[in-house]
Amino acid sequence: MRARECEAVLFDLDGVLTRTAAVHERAWSRLFTDVIATVGDAVRPYSIDDYFAYVDGKLRADGVQAVLASRGIDLPLGHPDDDPTAQTIHGLGNRKNDMFLTELERHGVEAFDGAAEVLDWLEQQGIPKAVVSSSHNADSVLRAVGLRHRVDLVVDGLMAMSQGLAGKPAPDTYLYAAEQLSAFPGRTVVVEDANSGVEAGRRGGFWVVGIDRGAGHDTLTRHGADVVIDQLDELFAVDRGLSRS
């Protein structure tokens, strides 16, 4: 899609604009390694492949359920306010969030190269921008890396919960963001690194740009990406007068 045809650009956050996907992955690994250890040696250990297959881009509770189901582990859903020590889906999700915040405090977070430049260029073109993330911490992460003022709207896990929106791979959060920006999905770009997010964009009728942060070009294409890039500065490269020769 060329910039002149574009009514809005909707970005995922972790792994697209900010280098937080690795922080999330470390927290998930700690959580599931501990949980699976309590079940026994017969259960397949958690690996980074599980992160991309079951967790990346999804709401926390959905990710917990998907990994546990892949191991035949059944826990009660519980309540979103469950204590992190609770042996429920939401309890484990809240425990993971505590681990994520601890990792974030210890190691900090950075924006990917080109993130600020792309957002500023879109602003100059008058193209609205939103972040659509499953994270409950999207706003604070954006502020920490100095990008919050560069986006017009943040639709995160908390907003999805308050609005009753299904998480990715359902298209609901992206469709909601497009509606808030008065943008038609077929003329709106979704930028995603996660299989679930790419699928959400495809199901919503968006133009989907996959960015390969580890999922793989073929996998992102198979899940519905119209084009796959490796770096943010490839986005609208022709319109921005850039060359990657």
Tens-place pLDDT, residues 92-112: 999 998 998 888 888 778 999
Nearest by Cα to 182 from 128, 145, 222, 137 = 128
Alpha-helical runs (H) found in 38-137: 48-50, 60-70, 89-107, 115-125
Residue 245 has pLDDT above 50, yes or no: no
Contacts for 63 with CB less than 8 Å, ≥ 6 apart: 28, 54, 55, 93
Residue 188 has pLDDT above 90, yes or no: yes
Query: What is the percentage of the chain residues whose pLDDT exceeds 90?
Result: 69
Residue type, 24: H
- Give the residue carrying structure tokens 């009660």: 76
Burial grade of 43 (CB within 10 A; 0-12, 13-18, 19 or more): middle
Q: Summarize pLDDT for 44-80 with one digit per residue, the tens.
A: 889 988 988 898 878 889 999 999 999 999 999 999 9
CATH hierarchy code of domain 3-19+111-234: 3.40.50.1000
Nearest by Cα to 68 from 46, 94, 49 = 46
The rounded distance, in Å, linking the Cα atoms of 176 and 131 is 12
Q: List residues bridging with 9 in a β-sheet.
A: 129, 189
Q: Where are the domains of the chain?
A: 3-19+111-234, 22-107
Of the candidate ranges 14-28, 160-174, 198-212, the one whose mean pLDDT is the lowest: 14-28
Q: Summarize pLDDT for 151-170 with one digit per residue, the tens.
A: 999 999 999 989 999 999 99
Residue 207 has pLDDT above 70, yes or no: yes
Nearest by Cα to 160 from 91, 82, 59 = 59
Residue 217 pLDDT? 95
Whole-structure pTM value: 0.80
Residues carrying an active site annotation: 12, 14
Q: Which residues of 51-85 are buried (b: 16+ CB within 10 A; e: fewer)?
A: bbbbbbbbbbbbbbbebbeebebebeebeeebeee
Nearest by Cα to 58 from 166, 178, 140, 130 = 166
Q: Tokens in use for 204? A: 């919503």
Residue 219 pLDDT? 94
Residue 40 pLDDT? 65
